[in-house]
Amino acid sequence: MDLNKLRSAILVGAGIIGVFLAAVFAKNLVDSKAAAVVPAKIVVKEAAISYAKNGPVPIYINAQGLVNAKQKIELYAEVQGIFKPGNKLFRTGQSYGLGETLLQIDASEFLANVKASRNNLHNQIAAILPDIRLDFPNNYQAWASFLKRIDIEKNIPALPEMDTEDIRLFISGRGILTAYYNLKNLEQRLSKFSIRAPFTGILTEALVREGTLVRSGQKLGEFMKPGVYELLVSVPQSFSKKLRKGAIVELENLEGTKSYTGFIRNINAKVDPNTQTTAIMIETTDAQLSDGVYVSAKLQGNEMEQAISLPRALVRQDGHIYTVKDNVLQSLAVHVVHYSEDQVVVTGIPDGTAMLAKPIMGAYEGMPVKVTP
């Protein structure tokens, strides 16, 4: 055998051996990868359940509003003059009793005009008394007594009764009635120079100081009676039909740290056409409250018979809930009666039905679960 044939035989043998070794190596590699693949495990999630029990469920709705004092007035000047100092300084937080003077405007010039008018009326009546004695002797004593009671320092008393048309025409023809009612008008205006407290309360706003010029129509301040407050809230028109006057209302501040109580005083008969809501007036005498505080009101409507209250997370948007039967999730359609902030009142769940007590991430109908207590 020559050298070339020997070389060719060696190369062919080496190639055959290399192919064989490569085949063996590839088979071992595939077998090792196949052995490394672990069969997938089916994960069964745990399901906390509760059993349905229908019964009466109270319907609640939350609303927010601003607390205002029930008795609160804004003080305005109806006349012009210098603000005179009084027994108490006109300052925010100052308290006043019923009938006590809140503010006094200097009325010395106007008072002089009133006194002059009283004196003029006195003189007019004195001038006609002789004629009354002669022509109307039955009325003389009443008018003579009226003349004696006229005091230029005091408001004019009521006119004597004129029982016949003749005496009325006589008195009117002498200008007595015109002078009398002009005087009454001046006295009424004179009373506006002094502003008195219509109730016992506190001055919550003071916009003027003693010695300043007060102008007609100018706002002077604000006066309120603490202790009785009202709250106006708006609720959906459909829910307002479930409320009743006098019902107790739970109130709390926006932080949820303080609680108060009140009651429904009025339910508006008109519906706001823009929002389709009804105004509800709530009254409270809770001493912890203050004018100007925002609070949240929890209003209770009528009870819904044969219903169940569930967390909102358990009711799907399509109006279904998940029940559990033979460790498998099933979908059940329910009728939603009312939504609150975190609860949903529903009907249509038979008593004893096993329902999810907590939502399961990725839940679907037919999903196997492991029931836990």
Threshold 0.75, pTM exceeds? no
> Tokens 């609720």 identify what position?
235
Number of Cβ atoms within 10 Å of the Cβ of 63? 20
Q: Is 35 exposed, middle or buried (0-12, 13-18, 19+ CB in 10 A)?
A: exposed
Query: Considering only CA atoms, which of 229, 361, 214 is closest in space to residue 294?
Result: 229
Query: Considering only CA atoms, which of 169, 170, 145 is closest in space to residue 158?
Result: 145
E-strand ranges in the chain read 45-51, 55-76, 81-84, 95-96, 101-105, 194-196, 201-206, 213-214, 219-236, 248-253, 259-271, 277-284, 294-311, 320-325, 328-333, 335-339, 343-347, 354-356, 369-372
CB 102 within 8 A of CB 195: yes
Per-residue pLDDT for the chain (373 aa), expressed as one digit of tens each?
455 666 666 666 666 666 666 666 666 665 655 444 455 556 778 888 899 999 998 888 888 999 999 999 999 999 999 999 988 999 999 999 999 999 999 999 999 999 999 999 999 999 999 999 998 999 999 999 999 999 999 999 999 998 889 999 999 999 999 999 999 999 999 999 999 999 999 999 999 999 999 999 999 999 999 999 999 999 888 888 888 889 899 999 888 888 999 999 999 989 999 988 999 999 999 888 889 999 999 888 878 888 999 998 999 988 899 999 989 999 999 998 888 778 889 999 999 999 998 999 888 899 999 888 6
- Beta pairing partners, 307: 55
Angle between helix 176-191 and 108-135 (nearest 10): 150
Q: Tell me, what amino acid is at 324?
A: V
